[in-house]
């Protein structure tokens, strides 16, 4: 006798919600590069090596001679000098990967988005400020002189966004500068960077695909129920019986949806809503929907 059973949830494939379309302005060009690296060395560079390092830096230059032999690393007295190098070339990264005793402890990964006009740039900047979120965010969004920070200055990771007068590498106008700062050996290891060799074949496309996370409110009634149920110990509200009040004139008031819409207007940004809800242990992420970030991603190497 054949017995048919209803498939359980574990047997069914997970439901994937399609990403919402990106509604900001599309950049006309984009440039991805390593903006800055900081490292300690055990032995000083020779004169020829110093000249090579200066030649292979970008417009930001290097502080190669600023603190030569003046202080040692507190965590390792064998390290005698800390050097910062901006916009290093591929040749410089290959050379530094061969230096014995080099200790990389700071990295800035950058994506410059170029737009056709100032209005398009500002539109996308405001759009990202509203919908851009940082995974496992534990800090607080800060604004200082037009720059958006996701944490304090020397935090292990910090997602920075601002509008410079022109692009660093090309000098083009209407630039939106996105920068991901990583400080400390532990933070570097979490993004699988353990030395200069990992920067030579660094995959910028994969990196930004997992960091440029855009989220929007996909279900306002669910958001309202989540907040309402967090204050109730019993008799939780469910989507099967939505709270809808009707007046004598026929007007319908959707309570949960109105609560969700009010919360969104008060918070202003998705990141702030997530941060405030996390402090109260409210799972608002269940009401969010992903936004397609393909338009903001740099090309893969094989696509060039």
Rounded to whole angstroms, the Cα distance separating 237 from 147 reads 41
Specify if 126 maps to a domain.
Answer: no
* Confidence category of residue 234, pLDDT binned at 50, 70, 90: low
Q: In a 3-state reduction of DSSP, which class is residue 267?
A: helix
CB half-sphere exposure, 203, CA atoms < 13 A: 11
d(CA 192, CA 194): 6
Q: Which of 83, 82, 111 is nearest to 298 (CA)?
A: 111
Q: Is residue 114 part of a domain?
A: no
pLDDT tens track for 121-164: 999 999 999 999 998 888 889 999 999 999 988 899 999 999 99
The predicted-structure confidence for 18-55, as pLDDT tens digits, reads as follows: 888 999 899 999 999 999 999 999 898 999 999 999 99
Domain count for the chain, please give it. Answer: 1
What's the pTM?
0.84
Task: Give the per-residue SS3 of 39-68.
Answer: EEECCCCCHHHHHHHHHCCCCCCECCCCCC
* Beta strand spans in 70-204 (E): 81-86, 103-114, 132-133, 142-144, 147-149, 157-162, 175-183
In a domain, 225, yes or no: yes
Answer yes or no: is 9 within a domain: no
User: Which residue range(s) make up the domain with 288?
Assistant: 215-295
Q: pLDDT value at position 71?
A: 77
d(C-alpha 180, C-alpha 109), whole Å: 5
Tell me the per-residue pLDDT of 183-233, one tens digit each, with 9 for 90 and over.
998 999 999 998 899 999 999 999 999 999 999 998 888 888 888 877 766
Residue 251 maps to a domain: yes
Assess if residue 99 is contained within a domain. Answer: no
Computed over every residue of the chain, the mean pLDDT equals: 86
Indicate whether 271 pLDDT > 90. yes
Distance CA 65, CA 32 (A): 28
């Amino acid at each position: 006798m054949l017995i048919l059973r209803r498939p359980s949830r574990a047997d069914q494939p997970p439901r994937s919600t399609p990403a919402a379309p990106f509604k900001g302005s599309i950049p006309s060009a984009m440039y991805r590069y390593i903006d800055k690296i900081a490292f300690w060395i055990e032995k000083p560079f020779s004169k020829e090596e110093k000249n090579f390092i200066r030649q292979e830096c970008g417009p930001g230059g290097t502080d190669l001679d600023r603190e030569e032999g003046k202080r040692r690393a507190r965590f390792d007295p064998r390290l005698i000098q800390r050097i910062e190098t901006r916009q290093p070339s591929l040749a410089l990264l290959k050379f530094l990967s061969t230096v014995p005793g080099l200790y990389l402890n700071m990295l800035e990964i950058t994506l410059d988005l170029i737009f056709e006009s100032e209005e398009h740039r500002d539109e996308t900047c405001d759009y990202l400020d509203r919908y851009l979120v940082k995974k496992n965010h534990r800090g607080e969004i800060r604004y200082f002189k037009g720059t958006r920070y996701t944490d304090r200055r020397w935090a292990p990771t910090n997602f920075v966004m601002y509008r410079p007068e022109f692009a660093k590498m090309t000098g083009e106008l209407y630039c939106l500068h996105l920068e991901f700062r990583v400080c400390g050996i532990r933070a570097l290891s979490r993004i699988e960077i353990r030395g200069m060799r990992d920067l030579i074949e660094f995959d910028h496309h994969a990196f930004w695909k997992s960091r440029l996370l855009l989220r929007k409110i996909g279900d306002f009634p669910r958001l309202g129920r989540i907040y309402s149920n967090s204050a109730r110990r019993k008799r939780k509200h469910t989507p099967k019986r939505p709270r809808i009040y009707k007046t004598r004139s026929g007007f319908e008031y959707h309570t949960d949806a109105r609560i969700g819409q009010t919360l969104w207007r008060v918070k202003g940004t998705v990141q702030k809503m997530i941060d405030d809800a996390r402090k109260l242990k409210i799972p608002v992420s269940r009401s969010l929907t992903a936004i397609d970030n393909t338009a903001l991603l740099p090309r893969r190497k094989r696509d060039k």
